[in-house]
Amino acid sequence: MPSGKVKPSTNRKSTGKTYARNDATNQTHNAVPGFQKIKAALRQTGRLLAKERLNADVRVAMERKKKALEADLVERMRKERTLAQRYYKVKFLEQQKVTRKPGKTKYRLEESTEKKERKKLEEGI
């Protein structure tokens, strides 16, 4: 390239603005870890406690951590169970609505006398 002349770039000019990515790996929030993370932490703590040569203060801290993790796991399982029950009911009710709709439409179709109404109901079936 000759000196003094600068070849214009074919790339777009940068505005100097940076934008944060909006994906799950970039989000920082205080979400409770899932079952697998809690279970893995419990196993790791158990392995550490199984060592014979462990300082007393570290052992006490790990035992506290293990109890806290077990409590978190129990709480998480309880919440998951209540949510499962709630959504089971919702799914059941939605299924009932869906199964009743064709029967209601057929009944209305048999009872209807107007052409517009019949056409609309036939499209719904």
Distance CA 57, CA 16 (A): 51
Residues found in the chain: 125
Provide the token pair at 120: 């609309």
pLDDT of residue 12: 59
Helical residues (DSSP H) of 1-125, grouped into ranges? 35-50, 56-111, 115-124
pLDDT of residue 21: 58
pLDDT of residue 20: 57
pLDDT tens-digit series, residues 33-51? 788 999 999 999 999 999 9
pLDDT of residue 95: 93
CA angle 8, 10, 15 (to 5 degrees): 90
pLDDT tens-digit series, residues 71-118? 999 999 999 999 999 899 999 999 999 999 888 888 887 777 777 777
Distance CA 106, CA 111 (A): 9
In the chain, the percentage of residues whose pLDDT exceeds 70 is 73
Domain ranges, ordered by start, for the chain: 35-124
Provide the token pair at 17: 């603005």
Distance CA 66, CA 40 (A): 11
Distance CA 53, CA 72 (A): 28
